[in-house]
Copies of this chain bind each other. A is one copy, B any other.
Amino acid sequence: MAHMNMIQALNSAMDVMLARDPAVVLMGEDIGYFGGVFRATEGLQRKYGEHRVLDTPIAEGGIVATAIGMGVNGLRPVAEIQFADYIYPGIDQIASELARLRFRSAGDFFAPVTIRTPCGGGIRGGQTHSQSPESIFTHICGIKVVMPSNPYDAKGLLIASIEDDDPVVFFEPKRLYNGPFDGDPNKPAVPWTSHPKGQVTEGYYTVPLGKAEIVRAGSDVTIITYGTMVFVAVAAAAALGLDAEIIDLRTLVPLDVDALCTSVKKTGRCVIAHEATRFSGFGAEILAVVQEECFWDLEAPIQRVAGWDTPYPHAFEWEYFPGQARVSEALKTVMEVT
């Protein structure tokens, strides 16, 4: 075990996989010699060679397309999209090709591509360096969608994603790269060293795709969340003194419906929180599933807490971010009903 922040954990996952499987190659803008703008691939080109860790042209569509071709030819590409905000030029190759190869060829062709991309705000990135577009990918059948909230999971989930024969879009909440973050930008930054999930096995391990984690067991209310909002939820519930059960989805597709429903059936109350904009955000699907499965157990309407339905503004980052106040508000609302 070693202390790792999330960047180091991701780096370690790729390091482990480059060493274990000669078919694994990394590719992306600035990921080679430079080691990536967030340094996730630092040192890997030096260690494994220029032919395993490729710098690419600035063409997200080209990156995904060539990764597909490489995947079809026996490699296991891990492609970085520098910011999730820049994944759109690659979305046709993801939605129309990567997600469809196995289906349309009746299993004869597939491409085990993992697409890593930093998402989320809180780093003063303005409207084009802060987006959380995961909901879009959850609607495209044939792709798995992952978003870890801590170094331990990040490494285990990334290894599982790379080994998975289905394509995975792997979102990395960049505000969590250096430490857990409870939503209060005025508090001093907390490093991962002080958090148990910052203790990471150095070698190979996986965290299985499709399994949510109960971050905190409780009986008053279920909070379903993922990514940055996990810590905000923990803090908000603690501040209210609620015995909340907090579920970190970790994988959005396939969704761990059983975990959610077991919990909501127990608590009877549910708050869903994510950073992405609310309208048609992934919270809607979670809410729909919970309502469908647990309707008779609900003691209050399920509440959603999410980014506002606006672009992420540079100057109003903290008014935009769904921080503790908004989670508390929602918790109070569901708890008020008796």
Contacts of A298 in B (CB 8 A): 295
Q: Quick check: B279 and A139 within 8 Å, CB to CB? A: yes
A284 within 8 A of partner (CB): yes
Q: Which of A86-94, A169-177, A194-202 contacts B (4 or more CB under 8 A)?
A: A86-94
Contacts of A92 in B (CB 8 A): 88-89, 91
Q: Quick check: B138 and A311 within 8 Å, CB to CB? A: no
Question: With A141-B310, A309-B141, A311-B103 in contact, is A285–B279 under 8 Å at CB?
Answer: yes
| Complexed CA–CA distance, A253 and B255 (Å) | 27
Question: How many copies of the shown chain assemble into the complex?
Answer: 2
Q: Quick check: A136 and B138 within 8 Å, CB to CB? A: no
Please name the residue on chain B nearest to A99 by beta carbon: B311
Q: Quick check: B280 and A128 within 8 Å, CB to CB? A: no
A283 within 8 A of partner (CB): yes
Contacts of A277 in B (CB 8 A): 139, 141
* Binary per-residue interface labels of chain A (281-296) against chain B in the complex, 1 for a CB within 8 Å, 0 otherwise: 1111101100110011
| Complexed CA–CA distance, A304 and B95 (Å) | 24
Question: With A91-B92, A92-B88 in contact, is A280–B104 under 8 Å at CB?
Answer: no
For the complex formed, measure the closest distance between the CB of A330 and the CB atoms of chain B, giving whole angstroms.
Answer: 11
For the complex formed, measure the closest distance between the CB of A117 and the CB atoms of chain B, giving whole angstroms.
Answer: 14
* Binary per-residue interface labels of chain A (53-69) against chain B in the complex, 1 for a CB within 8 Å, 0 otherwise: 00000000100000000
Task: Tell me the interface secondary structure of chain A in the complex.
Answer: helix
A127 within 8 A of partner (CB): yes
| Complexed CA–CA distance, A310 and B103 (Å) | 9
Q: Quick check: A128 and B288 within 8 Å, CB to CB? A: no
Contacts of A136 in B (CB 8 A): 136, 139
For the complex formed, measure the closest distance between the CB of A305 and the CB atoms of chain B, giving whole angstroms.
Answer: 12
Q: Quick check: B141 and A104 within 8 Å, CB to CB? A: no
Q: Name A residues whose Cβ lies closer than 8 Å to a Cβ of B.
A: 61, 85, 88-89, 91-92, 95-96, 100, 103-104, 127-128, 133, 135-136, 138-139, 141-142, 253, 255, 276-277, 279-285, 287-288, 291-292, 295-296, 298, 300-304, 309-311
Q: What would be 10 A-B contacts, judged by CB atoms less than 8 Å apart?
A: A104-B311, A138-B279, A142-B311, A255-B279, A279-B285, A280-B282, A284-B284, A288-B288, A292-B301, A295-B301
Supply 13 further A-B pairs (C-beta < 8 A) apart from A133-B139, A139-B277. A91-B91, A103-B310, A136-B136, A136-B139, A138-B280, A255-B279, A280-B280, A287-B287, A291-B301, A291-B302, A292-B304, A295-B300, A295-B301
